[in-house]
Structure 1
Amino acid sequence: MTPLEDAQAFVLESCPPLVPVRLAREEAGGLVLAEVVVSTEVVPPFDNTAVDGYAVRSADVAIVPVELDVIYEIAAGAAPQGDLGPGQAVRIMTGAPLPGEADAVVMVEYSERLGEIERDGAMVERVRLSESVAPGTAIRRAGDDVLVGEELFEPGTVVTPAIEGVLASVNAQQVAVYRRLKVAVLSTGDELITDGSPLAPGQIRESNKTMLAAMLAEAGCDVVDLGVVRDDEAELERVLRSAAADCDAIVSSGGVSMGDYDVVKAVLGRIADMTWMQMAIKPAKPFAFGKLDGVPVFGLPGNPVSSMVSFELMARPALRRMMGHRQLARPSIVAIVDQDLRRNTDGKVHFMRVNGSFREDGRYHVVPVGAQGSHQLAATANADAMAVVPDGDGIGAGGEVAVLLLR
């Protein structure tokens, strides 16, 4: 049997990242940066106020309360109309640029508008301020967030909504990213039913393709659903070759066990460069990987739980690497076992599906789901994590186990 680590290394080595592309910022959401992003602008671009209030010279409000002349008002998006002089203030709105000579802002909560008075034949607005402020109070300085030449984001960073906002703030109109993979998924077999009709003897409902398509979408891929291909070698070869010409990867399930005769194995064995493995894990022992016309092909086992686990351990990390991700595997933590995770010695690592939660002690606690059979998808569907149980008798309650978080 092939150790899991060796199988994973082989597949990852065969699935390098795609060639980066340059996309408009608006199209980069959820993708992975391929180059460092360097700012060409400062943020904020000018000194501005963090609050609504009055821009002042701090020396004029050293003793309060104090009454000052309000010489004009600045709204966000407007420009100052002149510098402050002694005994003067400017009413200012959040985000507006500071007038010259102003070195602080008094919040509007500490102000009282007094109306206008006549002075030298002109009407002058007055305000009473009741709060002293030190120089720099409530001021956001130019470049306080970002400076010109600053390296903002490293390659491998996923473009989140917040990062999109930063890119917009520094006028990054385009970024180099790894595009989403276009991945074909299919099921094969005359026994698979998809139209909701009553089952005849020997027939089953198709479920693996439905599950894998959703898992591919969750991993960030664009999914091409090829449907169910009947047990016809010529038709399957046509579908696979068409997928290889149009897609970045192909995922199928079933027909990869040793000794199986299946149209998938027969066709892929003839037209693709495939490696058929028996991995030292349970479930998901059988696995196939290869390339068809240079396109990676992931052959997952047919039992639904095995197919899911195989995707999580083998296909998902490789596909994420192709899309430029640096974190390939699911997050892993050490959990406390609240119920025995029992198993038999068989030379394999068991990936037992568990439910878990954080408790008052700050630790993640897990219990096994109700059924662990490779065909029992209903129980696995509610699992929060997979416990990595090494070969042996298992782990008793109170012990520690590494888990891969699925949610």
Structure 2
Amino acid sequence: MIPLAEAREHVLSRCHPRGPVPVPLIDAAGCVLAGPVVAPEAVPPWDNSAMDGFAVRAADVAGASEDRPVTLPVVATVAAGAAATTEVGPGQAVRIMTGAPMPPGADAVVMVEATRGGPDATEIEILASVEPGRNIRSAGSDITAGEQVIDGGTLLGPAHLGVLASVNVRRPVVIRRPRLGVISTGDELIDDDRPLAPGQIRESNRPMLVALARSFGIDAVDLGTVADDRDALATALRDAAATCDAVATSGGVSMGDFDLVKVVLGELADMRWMQIAIRPAKPFAFGMLDGTPVFGLPGNPVSSMVSLSLLGVPGLRRLAGRSDLDLPRVTATSAVELSGAGPRDVYLRVACTWDGPGLRAAPVPAQASHHLSATADANGLALIPAGTTVAPGDQVTVVLLSAPT
């Protein structure tokens, strides 16, 4: 057996970020920005009102209050999206909407709540004083022209896309999310609702792995089930390698297995068949098929999930150019005794929940590698080093599969 760290390094040594490409802005979420972005223009591009109200000269409303209002004639209205063409002269006001450009001559905005008068009034009573600059968003107050707004290597989220849109970057250059093709094989697997014949089972690994990979920021695609036919399997694997950035199969990677997946991959690809010193997910394979990484995951449902989480994710995120290669690890308080008896590190499926200011980890009731129904309640993997025990109330490291509740 080999340590998990050795298998991980082997995967990473053969997974390399792909070249940068421009993509439509809406498709850039979850991608890594290939280089820094410099703003070609200021945000906002001109002074504008921070709220609905009246643009005034601050000196004209000095000392205004509800008891001593200042009455000003309203000489114009400026809506958002309109040009401000009327100058505010001494003792005048311009009705203005949020986001509308400031009219020349005005140096402050009185919010509408501090005024008295109808929406069509030709005069307005100002009930509060304002200092110069009040309620004005100055040109360039968010971003100045020539400013670097996002660093290269940034994993783009929703707010980043908003920033890029605000400076007119419509096709950012990114390293795309990798496309992972997931294949299942075997005549015993049934994908539809027909009654099961003797020896047949419902296929569950592929939909689980596709959904799991997508939850980790990977563009996983379902490539279906391939029958136990050497030529069909070889064709499916080559097609997957040609159309995807990586391929994942499940099953046929254990020692002693005489499985077509193992046979065909052994012929087509440069594979390494490994036994990892962890439980579950001991068997694992990785290699290259026509330059495309191939992950050979175990057939047991929980083992395939753990393999993808611990070994697939680092390689796939390396393809994506990400710096956060592994899933997040947190420290939680164990709700019960957790045992790592045996020669392998144990990754127990746990439900990780907030308990006051900290996290609490409780194992799901069934931990065998085929117990998928219990695993559905888990959002983390608690690491118990080989030969150790974690007592109730002690701290334990948890690999998060999803956010704690």
> After TM superposition, is the score higher than 0.5?
yes
Instruction: Report the 3-state secondary structure (helix = DSSP H, G, I; strand = E; otherwise coil) of the residue aligned with 1:132.
Output: coil
- Distance in 2 (CA, whole Å) between partners of 1:223 and 1:397 is 38
Counterparts of residues 84-99 of structure 1 (less than 5 Å):
84-99=88-103
Alignment partner of 1:54 is 2:51: no
Alignment partner of 1:5 is 2:5: yes
Q: Which residue of the partner structure matches residue 16 of structure 1?
A: 16
After superposition, the C-alpha distances for 1:84-133 in whole angstroms (9 at most, x for unaligned) are: 222111111111111222111111112123899xxxxxxx9322111011
Alignment partner of 1:39 is 2:43: no
Instruction: Report the 3-state secondary structure (helix = DSSP H, G, I; strand = E; otherwise coil) of the residue aligned with 1:174.
Output: coil
Alignment partner of 1:143 is 2:140: yes
Query: What amino acid sits opposite 1:170 in the alignment?
Result: V
After superposition, the C-alpha distances for 1:184-210 in whole angstroms (9 at most, x for unaligned) are: 211122222223333233222211122
CA 1:243 to 1:73, structure 2 compared with 1: closer, same or farther past 3 Å?
same
CA 1:83 to 1:314, structure 2 compared with 1: closer, same or farther past 3 Å?
same
Q: Which residue of the partner structure matches residue 395 of structure 2?
A: 400
CA 1:183 to 1:115, structure 2 compared with 1: closer, same or farther past 3 Å?
closer
Q: Which residue of the partner structure matches residue 77 of structure 1?
A: 81
Shift of 1:246: 2.0
Once the two structures are overlaid, the 10-residue window that deviates more, 244-253 or 160-169, is 160-169
Q: Which residue of the partner structure matches residue 167 of structure 2?
A: 170
After superposition, the C-alpha distances for 1:163-204 in whole angstroms (9 at most, x for unaligned) are: 222212111122101223232211122222223333233222
CA contact (8 A) 1:179 1:323 kept: yes
Q: Which residue of the partner structure matches residue 71 of structure 2?
A: 67
Shift of 1:31: 2.5
After superposition, the C-alpha distances for 1:259-316 in whole angstroms (9 at most, x for unaligned) are: 2211111111122101111111111011000001111000001111100000001112
Instruction: Report the 3-state secondary structure (helix = DSSP H, G, I; strand = E; otherwise coil) of the residue aligned with 1:356.
Output: strand
- Distance in 2 (CA, whole Å) between partners of 1:354 and 1:201 is 34
Which of 117, 140, 152 aligns to 2:149? It is 152
Q: Which residue of the partner structure matches residue 363 of structure 2?
A: 368
- Distance in 1 (CA, whole Å) between partners of 2:257 and 2:362 is 35
Instruction: Report the 3-state secondary structure (helix = DSSP H, G, I; strand = E; otherwise coil) of the residue aligned with 2:87.
Output: coil
Query: What amino acid sits opposite 1:214 in the alignment?
Result: A
- Distance in 2 (CA, whole Å) between partners of 1:199 and 1:75 is 67
Q: Mind listing any 5+ residue stretches in structure 2 that lack a counterpart?
A: none
- Distance in 2 (CA, whole Å) between partners of 1:354 and 1:114 is 61
After superposition, the C-alpha distances for 1:308-349 in whole angstroms (9 at most, x for unaligned) are: 000001112211221222222222110000111123131x21
Which of 177, 181, 184 aligns to 1:184? It is 181
The list of structure 1 runs, each at least 4 consecutive aligned residues, that deviate by more than 3 angstroms after superposition, is: 219-224
CA contact (8 A) 1:115 1:126 kept: no
Q: Which residue of the partner structure matches residue 383 of structure 2?
A: 388
- Distance in 1 (CA, whole Å) between partners of 2:75 and 2:56 is 11
- Distance in 2 (CA, whole Å) between partners of 1:12 and 1:160 is 25
CA 1:88 to 1:378, structure 2 compared with 1: closer, same or farther past 3 Å?
same
Which of 350, 356, 375 aligns to 1:354? It is 350
- Distance in 2 (CA, whole Å) between partners of 1:287 and 1:80 is 67
Query: What amino acid sits opposite 1:84 in the alignment?
Result: V
- Distance in 2 (CA, whole Å) between partners of 1:359 and 1:20 is 43
Once the two structures are overlaid, the 10-residue window that deviates more, 303-312 or 31-40, is 31-40
Alignment partner of 1:29 is 2:29: yes
CA contact (8 A) 1:115 1:127 kept: no
After superposition, the C-alpha distances for 1:209-242 in whole angstroms (9 at most, x for unaligned) are: 2211222333344444332222222221122122
Query: What amino acid sits opposite 1:3 in the alignment?
Result: P
- Distance in 2 (CA, whole Å) between partners of 1:125 and 1:27 is 49
Instruction: Report the 3-state secondary structure (helix = DSSP H, G, I; strand = E; otherwise coil) of the residue aligned with 2:262.
Output: helix
- Distance in 2 (CA, whole Å) between partners of 1:237 and 1:214 is 25
Instruction: Report the 3-state secondary structure (helix = DSSP H, G, I; strand = E; otherwise coil) of the residue aligned with 2:122.
Output: strand
Alignment partner of 1:107 is 2:104: no
After superposition, the C-alpha distances for 1:29-86 in whole angstroms (9 at most, x for unaligned) are: 3322212111111001101111111111111111222122222221112222233222
CA 1:67 to 1:4, structure 2 compared with 1: closer, same or farther past 3 Å?
same
Once the two structures are overlaid, the 10-residue window that deviates more, 186-195 or 371-380, is 186-195
Q: Which residue of the partner structure matches residue 228 of structure 1?
A: 225
- Distance in 1 (CA, whole Å) between partners of 2:119 and 2:379 is 64
- Distance in 2 (CA, whole Å) between partners of 1:384 and 1:24 is 33
Instruction: Report the 3-state secondary structure (helix = DSSP H, G, I; strand = E; otherwise coil) of the residue aligned with 1:307.
Output: helix
CA contact (8 A) 1:34 1:176 kept: yes
Counterparts of residues 190-229 of structure 1 (less than 5 Å):
190-229=187-226
Query: What amino acid sits opposite 1:88 in the alignment?
Result: Q
Counterparts of residues 272-311 of structure 1 (less than 5 Å):
272-311=269-308
The share of aligned pairs that are identical, in percent, is 53
Which of 222, 232, 243 aligns to 1:246? It is 243
CA contact (8 A) 2:53 2:96 kept: yes
